[in-house]
Amino acid sequence: MVLCWIRDEIPEKNSDPHMKYPGQYLTPEELYITTGVRLSQVPLEHLTNEDRLAELRKFKGYVYNDYVTIVRGKTEEEKIKMKAYMTEHIHHDPEVRLIVDGSGYFEVRDIDDNWVRMHVFPGDLIDLPTGIFHRFSLDNDEYVRMHRLFTDVPDWTAVNRTDIITHPSRDRYLDYMNQV
């Protein structure tokens, strides 16, 4: 089950929960209305990875997938990657991730530019719409493994918020939010 809440503004130690005082969880419906993010659950038990993929493909038409494991960075390369994940960015494509092991925090900006934190666990499937500002941090367990799914050839380009003047994916997101 994904737990969601509005995050405080304290920038240190992102692996802590950072729930904004006085603290309240958002329902999946509230999350959808304020961000456009959809959450669902995939039963991981009793299914091999291949079976699970076949199910997901039927459901959404995903054509590309791979796995990514993230651990607290020890090497310089890992540290750079962690920093990139935690830098606010958008993509041309939706960001679809199935958590298969471990846990972590996805953060998305809501329509009022608050950070909404989603604590994700195995079996959680998150679907971040194209053009939503987001970032990712490990929690204090310092490990997550995710299945990444794409409906097209993957485009890994991350456009950081500071670089953005206008971006087509941002216009698509704002159009999409008008229909939510």
Q: Which residue positions form the known binding site?
A: 89, 91, 95, 134
Record the tokens describing residue 34, joined without a space: 């304020």
Record the tokens describing residue 153, joined without a space: 């050839």
Of 86-125, binders to ligand KMT (CB under 6 A) are: 95, 97
State the minimum distance, in angstroms, from the CB of residue 70 to ligand KMT. 6
Residue 8: Cβ within 10 Å count: 16
Record the tokens describing residue 151, joined without a space: 């409906």
The binder of 68, among ligand KMT, Ni ion, none, by C-beta within 5 to 8 A per type, is ligand KMT
Give the total of residues touching ligand KMT (CB under 6 A).
Answer: 8
Report the residue from 18, 52, 117, 134 that binds ligand KMT according to the rule CB under 6 A. 134
> Under the criterion CB under 6 A, does residue 71 sit at the interface with ligand KMT?
no
The binder of 109, among Ni ion, ligand KMT, none, by C-beta within 5 to 8 A per type, is none
Sort residue 5 into left (φ over 0), alpha (ψ -120 to 50) or beta: beta
**153 vs 92, 93, 110, CA distance in Å?**
11, 10, 28
Cβ-based nearer residue to ligand KMT, 18 or 107: 107
Report the residue from 19, 33, 158, 164 that binds ligand KMT according to the rule CB under 6 A. 158
101 touches 145 (CB < 8 A): yes
Q: How many angstroms separate the first and last alpha carbons of the chain?
A: 23
State the minimum distance, in angstroms, from the CB of residue 20 to Ni ion. 23
Write out the residues near ligand KMT by the rule CB under 6 A. 68, 85, 95, 97, 134, 136, 146, 158
